[in-house]
């Protein structure tokens, strides 16, 4: 799967296609994909057939907002639809509306939220930032990014996972300046979002595939474990002296799994020993098609016929395309 030539000719999606979020739109009778498409930073696609068939997906273009003036000169990117925690691929209908989480550049990366009664939009942005950066000494003082969100109806609560980048050294054994995966929660009808801190910091095990920095996370109900996290991370720690393009997220980015046995998955997370695939293991045919350098944010879609579709973006920085793997019905976590 890749950005189509037609999209590039229309002036969107010609640089990056990735960071997918896929949900079932029962009202329209199709699947919807929300993705990071640069420019402008967001887009959507639909599939009326088999979502594991790349040819069945049709790009529609950037998302539509009823009040884009809320963004001002902020770019909006990496959209994610809040989903039912216990039902992969099912969007959460909350008070007759769906919630869309989206990153924006509000002096730095922060998270906003928009609402719509239809998954096809248009979306109405809230006036305030949903998840802001922390204070200077906090793990998320530099940016908050790569958000995902889940509704737990038994708690009447939303749980968000997001990537927090630090501005100063953190107490991570092998990567003081590496980003961490964090959680935040929001009780519906409550007083707003409360941050819960890092739940998956960089691994403290030398040589581990997630010991450098940690990216976005998708939550799935598991089989051997209560919860599975589909994440991307790197064994390479950021160097605070580096000012290059890849300074905050040096290569390689790798996809892999973590697991948690807590009913409310805000603690007790453990990394799987190995990633799904390493860069040097990419088959020649896939490398010829543009896969390599990094394996970015992964999204796993369980299908009803004993298959699991794994979507992710890969390629040189700012030349990323969307790729697809097919696997069994559940991640191989041990």
State the Cα–Cα distance between residues 156 and 94, nearest whole angstrom: 10
Instruction: Tell me the pLDDT tens digit for each residue of 109-144.
Output: 999 999 999 999 999 999 999 999 999 999 999 999
Q: 108: domain range?
A: 79-327
CA 32 to chain centre: 15
State the Cα–Cα distance between residues 152 and 188, nearest whole angstrom: 10
- Determine, yes or no, domain membership for 3: no
Q: Residue 9 has what pLDDT? A: 56
Query: How many structural domains compose the chain?
Result: 1
pLDDT in tens, the chain (334 residues): 444 445 665 678 889 999 999 999 999 999 999 999 999 999 999 999 999 999 999 999 999 999 999 999 999 999 999 999 999 999 999 999 999 999 999 789 999 999 999 999 999 999 999 999 999 999 999 999 999 999 999 999 999 999 999 999 999 999 999 999 999 999 999 999 999 999 999 999 999 999 999 999 999 999 999 999 999 999 999 999 999 989 999 999 999 999 999 999 999 999 999 999 999 999 999 999 999 999 999 999 999 888 999 999 999 898 999 999 998 654 444 3
State the Cα–Cα distance between residues 42 and 35, nearest whole angstrom: 6
- Determine, yes or no, domain membership for 87: yes
- Determine, yes or no, domain membership for 108: yes
- Determine, yes or no, domain membership for 40: no
Instruction: Tell me the pLDDT tens digit for each residue of 223-236.
Output: 999 999 999 999 99
Cβ-based burial of 199 (10 A; exposed 0-12, middle 13-18, buried ≥19): buried
CATH number of the domain that 283 lies in?
A: 2.115.10.20
Angstrom CA distances, 12 to 38, 42, 154, 163, 183, stand at 6, 9, 40, 25, 32
């Amino acid at each position: 799967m890749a950005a189509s030539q037609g999209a590039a000719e229309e002036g969107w999606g010609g640089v990056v296609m990735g960071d997918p979020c896929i949900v079932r739109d029962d009202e329209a009778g199709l699947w919807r994909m929300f993705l990071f498409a640069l420019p402008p930073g967001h887009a959507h696609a639909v599939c009326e057939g088999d979502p594991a068939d790349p040819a069945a997906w049709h790009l529609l273009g950037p998302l539509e907002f009823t009040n884009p003036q809320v963004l001002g000169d902020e770019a909006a990117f990496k959209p994610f639809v809040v989903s039912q925690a216990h039902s992969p691929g099912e969007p959460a209908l909350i008070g007759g509306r769906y919630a869309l989480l989206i990153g924006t550049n509000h002096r730095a990366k922060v998270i906003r939220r928009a609402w719509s009664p239809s998954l096809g939009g248009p979306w109405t942005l809230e006036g305030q930032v949903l998840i802001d950066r922390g204070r200077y000494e906090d793990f998320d003082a530099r940016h908050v990014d790569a958000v995902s969100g889940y509704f737990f109806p038994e708690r009447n609560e939303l749980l968000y996972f997001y990537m927090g980048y630090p501005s100063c050294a953190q107490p991570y054994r092998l990567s003081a300046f590496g980003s961490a995966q964090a959680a935040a929660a929001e009780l519906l009808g409550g007083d707003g979002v409360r941050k819960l801190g890092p739940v998956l910091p960089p691994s403290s095990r030398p040589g581990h595939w997630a010991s450098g920095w940690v990216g976005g996370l998708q939550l799935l109900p598991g089989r051997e474990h209560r919860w599975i996290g589909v994440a991307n991370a790197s064994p390479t720690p950021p160097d605070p002296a580096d000012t290059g393009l890849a300074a905050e997220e040096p290569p390689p980015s790798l996809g892999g799994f973590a697991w948690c046995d807590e009913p409310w998955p805000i603690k007790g997370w453990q990394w799987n020993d190995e990633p799904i695939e390493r860069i040097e293991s990419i088959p020649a045919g896939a490398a010829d098609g543009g896969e390599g350098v990094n394996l970015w944010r992964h999204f796993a879609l369980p299908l009803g016929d004993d298959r699991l579709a794994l979507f992710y973006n890969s390629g040189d920085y700012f030349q990323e395309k969307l790729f697809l793997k097919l696997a069994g019905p559940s991640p191989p976590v041990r």
